[in-house]
Amino acid sequence: MSGGRRVSEAELHAFVDGELVGEEAAEVEAALATAPEDLRFARAIADLNDRLTQHYAHVLDEPIPAGMAARAARANRSGRRWPPAVTRALGIVALLLAGAAAGYAAGAFIGRGEAGRQPAFVANAFSAHQVFVPEVRHPVEVGAAEEKHLVQWLTRRLGTDVRAPELNGHGWKLVGGRLLPDRGQAAAQFMYEDATGRRLTLYVRKEAGLTDAAFRFAERGDCAAFYWIDRSLAYALAGRLERTELMQLASSIHAQLGGLSGGQG
């Protein structure tokens, strides 16, 4: 594509930083193939990010100073101890570092764009969405008519309370759900359909090692997703929807499920 437009410097930064998704990212990627100067520039930025991450990685592994922990504990009148949270945080760090290393080893210079910064469950959610949504006869294993059974079954298999959020008010009815394998663990997929036949999936998986995370947006092909982590449960809501519509649905789901595992907090 030699006639392609010149990519701006700002776009190159944005590309490396994972700010571009879908077509925008593909466009820059294509342009880089024929612009060695730009490619060098993008690599240099990615290297800089990488250098920063590696140089300060050790801080994450340092024990929390006693004074800091003590101050936090003093403020913690409920008497709950910090160590579990801190251990959990260190676990996440290990996970993040492993992920970053794997991404780097894979030879992708692109940094945290589509792959590195995105937790693995998001890719699985996209795949499961794309495989099952076109299904006419067997889109789900257990249909909405047996919702109670579905929920009990998935709760047992995931080892945590799972619920199918209610989206009728938004015009989406539950089709049903299924159990899926995800890196040796069980994951659940709920499918919804609107009056025009569009389908949405909600992917749920236990992620004990990751901290809570607010909504993040991801795209694969023409499929969009919002994903978040709430008290050790990872969610990804995927569909061929406008971002704003998807966001509304994700917010509704987040609000409905927010109190679900609150008892342990």
Partner 1 sequence: MRVTSRRDAVAAEIPRLRRYARALVGDSSEADDLIQDTLERALARLGQWRDGDSPRKWLFSILHNLHVDGLRRRSRRPPHVGLDSLGPDQSAPAADGASGGDLDRALQLLTADQREVVLLVGLEGLSYAETAEVLSIPIGTVMSRLARGRDRLRTLLAYGLEKEAEPAGLRRVK
The residues that touch partner 1, with contacts defined as CB under 8 A, are 9-10, 12-14, 17-19, 37-38, 41, 44-45, 48-49, 51-53, 55-57, 59-62, 64-65, 67-68, 71-72, 75-76, 78, 80, 82, 84-86, 88-90, 92-93, 112, 117, 211-214, 216, 231, 251, 254-255, 258, 262, 265
Nearer CB in complex with partner 1: 48/145: 48
Smallest distance from partner 1 to CB 178, Å: 28
Q: Provide the residue count of the chain.
A: 265
Copy the structure tokens of residue 113.
């764009």
3-class DSSP state for residue 251?
A: helix
Grouping H, G, I as helix, E, B as strand and the rest as coil, residue 65 is coil
End-to-end CA distance of the chain: 55
Min separation Cβ 252 and partner 1, Å = 12
To partner 1, the closest distance from the beta carbon of 215 in angstroms equals: 8
Give the C-alpha separation, 7 to 4, whole Å.
Answer: 9
* Residue whose CB is less far from partner 1, 145 or 255: 255
Q: Rounded to whole angstroms, how far apart are CA atoms 237 and 44?
A: 34
Q: Which is nearer to partner 1, 45 or 162 (CB)?
A: 45
By beta-carbon proximity to partner 1, the closer residue of 67 and 134 is: 67
Q: DSSP letters along 158-210, please?
A: HTS-------GGGTEEEEEEEEEEETTEEEEEEEEEETTS-EEEEEEEE-TTS
CA 109, 110, 116, 117 dihedral sign is: positive
Name the minimum Å distance from CB 167 to partner 1: 18
Minimum distance of partner 1 from residue 31's CB (angstroms): 13
**Given the complex with partner 1, which of 49 and 130 has the nearer CB atom?**
49
